[in-house]
Chains A and B, each alone.
Chain A
Amino acid sequence: MDIYSKRRFVVYGVFAFVVLLFLIILFRLQILNSTYKQYATNNVLREITQYPARGLIYDRNGKLLVYNKTAYDLLITPREVTAFDTTLFCNLLNISKEDLEAGIKKAKKYSYYKPSILIKQISPERFAVLKEQLYKFNGFHTQSRTLREYSTTAAAHALGYVGEVSGADIKRDSYYKPGDYIGVSGIEKTYETQLRGTKGVKMNLVDVHNRLKGSYRNGEEDVPAKIGKNIVSTLDLKLQLYAEKLFRNKRGSVVAIEPATGEVLVFVSAPTYDPGLLVGRVRGHNYSKLLADTLMPLFNRALQAKYPPGSSFKPVNALIGLQVNAIDRNTRFACYGKASSPIRCTHNHGSPNDVVDAIRESCNPFLWNTFKSILGKYKTSAEGFNVWRKYVASFGIGQHLSSDFANGLKGDLPTEKQYNKIYGRGHWNALTVRSLAIGQGELGVTPLQMANYGAVIANRGFYYTPHIVKEIENDTISREFKTKREVPIEKKHFETVIIGMSQSVQRNLAATVKIPEIEMCGKTGTVQNNQGADHSVFVAFAPRENPKIALFVYVENGVWGSRYAAPMASLIVEKYLTDSISERRKWIEKKMLDANLLDPNQKK
């Protein structure tokens, strides 16, 4: 036995120490710590998003407006790419070599292992050719996406368009991932959640090189994509196309509503654009082109153009006057024509007038006196103004209509506070704000609000919030749209005003606006324009009893209400109610179609 024999215990100790250390570490690694299981799963699972087709959009008569077409994205996984024939590749895809290099560089920056989109939205025709050759290019693969396709060029503003999600969208809703599509305006935006469907996911196993190794658990964990819900719009495509045709070479807007339901039949903002321009790879280019157009085709006048309604607002004041007993059916006021004070009358007619005459003749002094009486009925002008304001607001003027139009403006309806600020408390009265009597001044109303106001009169005192969507597949539309909204003015007063509106059309505008066999009621208006010719407006509904359509037409630089807006409205109504334009009114249709109000040198 040698003296150092005992040292074997030190050696045993060293062995035991290392083994114990290993066991402790392995125990922590394998039993106490569960994160490594997750890492291992993340390593091998590749979730492949399944994109659903977007819901289709139909018009109220079941005509298909918007559907989908397939396009293909080409994806690149930089790590798997081997040397390839770049000339052939660029020719197949119709891209330049510089674009290709820049694209590959960007993809590499994102990840060597994960696929990223190199070229978006390849057309099916190009894809067919590409697919045959794709085997020559390692590291590239395709995925299919759906793009919007339009059966018509009409109703671009109502339908809206689809674009790529922004950073803000992704932040707001975690459903979206970079590169996803989202409705940017119109129905596409408002009904995004219904139209988009639900993305699905396919779980695949991949190896370290990200090569596909089959599906995970035989696809048990896969979630199929749910296609978007189809939507039936309230639009009447035929009428929409006709209205857009009438608006060629003009700027302006038409909104037509079915009074009994609040359904929007026609929604025109002119000039418009082909919605097909904002789809696919050409979208960015076309969008900037449309944006630069001085006629502003992207500007949605029906929702966002606000202006004082002018004479077309007169029925509102008459109705309020009757309701608060500031006037009655027989109250007459004298009119001195151009010598009238404080507001002169621009129309030629008899005197004195009752309320029906005044509406028919659009008599300024009558409405001024009515307005003065309304405000004068109360202790202070401010109190009277507030009563007046409340009635005006009940028509939806100056209010968000909480309709399903994206980006609608609220418009302007002045408040007491606003006037106090301008003139000082107690330092203003009916005279100060007299422009309101004839629909001028601080009022700002959008065509949608004006059409709704037409519907209120047609309904004799109520409306349903105007809306653009009629039905959603397996879903219901908002209850808002089924709720009747009453205006606190008695029905009989409406009947009074309607007599005036009917006479205006049947008597004063018989030549160009009166429709045979149909009694249309309407009120013209002229909106003063400091930049050029005045704008022509017309609010109307028809037929007088049991109205089917209420509409508002607004033609920029149309000079007088009776010159363009009213005849155009009559044509739209006639087309809607009789499906054709009567022989003896064809000349009016031709005149309207031929009118070019875009030409700055036009005859005023």
Chain B
Amino acid sequence: MPKRNNLWANIDWVTVLLFFALVFMGWLNIYAAVYNEHYQSIFDTTQRYGKQLIWIGAALTIGLIILLIDTNFYVFFSYIIYGFLLFLLILVLFIGKDINGARSWFAIGSFGFQPSEFMKFATALVLARYMSSYGFKIHNPKSLATIAAIIFTPVLFIFLQNDTGSALVYFSFVLVLYREGLSGVVLFFGTLVAILFVLALLVPNLVLYIVLLAIALLAFFIVNTKLIQFTRVLGAYLISILALFLLNFLMKKEYPLAGIVMAGVLLGSVIVLLVSWRNRIKNYSLIALVLLGSILFTLSVDYAFNNFLESHQQARINELLGIESDPLGAGYNVNQSKIAIGSGGAFGKGYLKGTQTKFDFVPEQSTDFIFCTVGEEWGFLGTSVVIGLFLFLLMRLIWLAERQRSSFSRIYGYSVAVILFFHFTVNIGMTIGLMPVIGIPLPFFSYGGSSLWSFTTLLFIFIRLDASRFDQL
């Protein structure tokens, strides 16, 4: 039986150790990324590794302070912290400094502060507070609306700062909501939307419509194997398409084939939906509805892609999907990043021996592309170890969250895990060409005070909550 009152005995030292390991390895790689024969002292604060040492020292202080603060502080002050950071988030729009086209930084002398980094833990706290409140029911429309408001208010302002990467992080909360009882259908549709988004840009529309129709027909067949019903559905679609095709021909209009097929599938879906609705065949109306929605969604993706995204964002997505290849333009970062990682081989080129790293071929190498240094100088061995450590940390956090007695701690713990997971996935995915280049840091690894402190805060609040798990009844 652990001692209830001894804070230090109840701290999960495994997590703390993982934290130290990642921060230390991160610093080693930052040193390598900016290494230069002329500045060899590791305490040289004109260099990034020197500064990062200061940030690390400060982060440890922050961690210690967090551990010393009573857990109730976070519960009681969650709304105030959230409100204060939201204020900063709005303020930065007016007095912030433009860096790389995003206005998300306060510049205080040579020191920068990014409120959107800290907004993450504040949002997690408020979400935990709200969802752990008495009588909370997740599928209550009012609850859903409140959750949406909590999550999307910061997202809105971060989008306004033109910092798409940081804004997308908040979508990872969907996993927390899922754990807390949100219907799996939401996850399913989330995944469907993501896949459709990619396909809409990648596959010719005609092919996409036919594939969607084929999948829907398969679904119709599976949910009801009676041949007569299936034939009716098939007939509805085929006749719709054929009729529109003939109409186009007879009226001497010259609509493209893809448009006719799309209209036919839409028409067919509407017919199937109406008929099955009237006959109370719930499965059929659902499938028809999903098909209808999917097609409308792909249409809107095309429209949004062409009309809402800026050209550099379009270029990056096109590059990622392999629609356009421009290794010296939009694809330059990723191409050089892949070269750096790929050239590391099994065991790497050796510490401080990476040529890609040393000669600045990868932009943003100490921040967003720090994983390249690991890949180049430590090889597959290094990348596996780093990924392994992250997996260990993430699994550990879930495991810790599940052992909490209070739902507040559990929800907060899950939030920490999924936020770290999102950063981990997008950042590493980006360096190996799996994700578009949206600049978000690798937790504990990337250079930068704001991000290190925000992740430290995020993690240590949970360590503190976990340490006092026995206090809760």
Q: Could you list which residues of chain A lie within 8 angstroms of chain B, going by C-beta atoms?
A: 2-5, 7-8, 10-12, 14-16, 18-19, 21-23, 25-27, 29-31, 33, 35-37, 39-41, 43-44, 205-209, 213
Contact = CB atoms under 8 A, between A and B. Distances in A.
B13 interface: no
Given A14-B175, A36-B342, A207-B360, A31 B380 contact: yes
Contact of A5 (B384, B390, B402): B402
Contacts of B387: 19, 22-23, 26
B343 A10 contact: no
Nearest to A4: B181
A31 B343 contact: no
Nearest to A16: B391
A595 B77 CA distance: 116
A208 B336 CA distance: 10
B428 to A, nearest CB: 6
Query: What class of interface size applies to chain B in its complex with A?
Result: 35 or more
B359 interface: yes
A27 B336 CA distance: 18
8 contacts: A7-B178, A15-B398, A29-B338, A30-B375, A37-B342, A43-B359, A208-B360, A209-B360
A11 B398 contact: yes
Contacts of A44: 355-356, 359, 361
B32 to A, nearest CB: 15
B228 to A, nearest CB: 38
A22 to B, nearest CB: 6
A209 B432 CA distance: 23
A360 B428 CA distance: 100
Interface string B142-180: 000000000000000000000000000000000100111
Given A16-B391, A26-B375, A37-B345, A43 B356 contact: yes
Given A30-B341, A208-B360, A209-B360, 8 more contacts: A23-B384, A26-B375, A30-B345, A31-B380, A40-B343, A43-B339, A44-B355, A205-B359
B391 A8 contact: no
A29 B384 CA distance: 13
A213 B175 CA distance: 49
A97 to B, nearest CB: 30
Interface in B335-370: 336, 338-346, 355-356, 358-361
Q: Which of A2, A5, A25, A26 has the most CB of B within 10 A?
A: A26
B231 interface: no
B425 interface: yes
A40 B355 CA distance: 7
B51 to A, nearest CB: 22
Contacts of B241: none
Q: Which of B359, B407, B418, B432 has the most CB of A within 10 A?
A: B359
Q: Which of A2, A40, A213 has the most CB of B within 10 A?
A: A40
A26 B380 contact: yes
Contacts of B432: 22, 25-26, 29
Given A22-B432, A30-B345, A36-B339, A205 B355 contact: yes
Contacts of B355: 40-41, 43-44, 205
A29 B394 CA distance: 25
A31 B346 CA distance: 6
Given A15-B391, A26-B383, A26-B432, A31 B175 contact: no
Interface in B390-419: 390-391, 394-395, 398, 402, 407, 414, 417-418
A516 B375 CA distance: 91
B434 interface: yes
Contacts of B338: 29, 36
Contacts of A10: 178
A144 to B, nearest CB: 27
Main SS of chain A's interface residues?
helix
A523 B363 CA distance: 83
A33 B342 contact: yes
A208 B361 contact: yes
Interface string B275-306: 00000000000000000000000000000000
Nearest to B335: A39
A39 to B, nearest CB: 4
Given A22-B432, A23-B384, A30-B344, A207 B359 contact: yes
B447 interface: no
B235 interface: no
A497 B338 CA distance: 85
A445 B374 CA distance: 77
A2 B180 CA distance: 9
B399 to A, nearest CB: 8
A205 B380 CA distance: 25
A15 B421 contact: yes
B361 A30 contact: no
B361 A43 contact: yes
Given A12-B395, A19-B391, A30-B344, A206 B359 contact: yes
Q: Which of A36, A37, A213 has the most CB of B within 10 A?
A: A36
A2 B411 CA distance: 13
B49 to A, nearest CB: 19
A9 to B, nearest CB: 10
A35 B359 contact: no
A43 B169 CA distance: 34
B429 to A, nearest CB: 7
A7 B179 contact: yes
A40 B359 CA distance: 11
B379 interface: yes
B418 to A, nearest CB: 8
A78 to B, nearest CB: 14
A31 B382 CA distance: 13
Nearest to A21: B434
Q: Which of A19, A21, A35, A205 has the most CB of B within 10 A?
A: A19
A35 B342 contact: yes
B401 to A, nearest CB: 8
Contact of B341 (A11, A15, A29, A208): A29
A39 B361 CA distance: 11
B359 A213 contact: yes
B345 A39 contact: no
A25 B375 CA distance: 12
Contacts of B390: 19
A2 B137 CA distance: 13
B360 A8 contact: no
B406 to A, nearest CB: 12
A84 B380 CA distance: 47
Contacts of A27: 380
B334 to A, nearest CB: 12
B343 A37 contact: yes
B37 to A, nearest CB: 10
B359 A30 contact: no
A23 B402 CA distance: 27
A37 B355 CA distance: 11
B346 A11 contact: no
Contacts of A35: 342
Contacts of A207: 358-361
B397 to A, nearest CB: 10
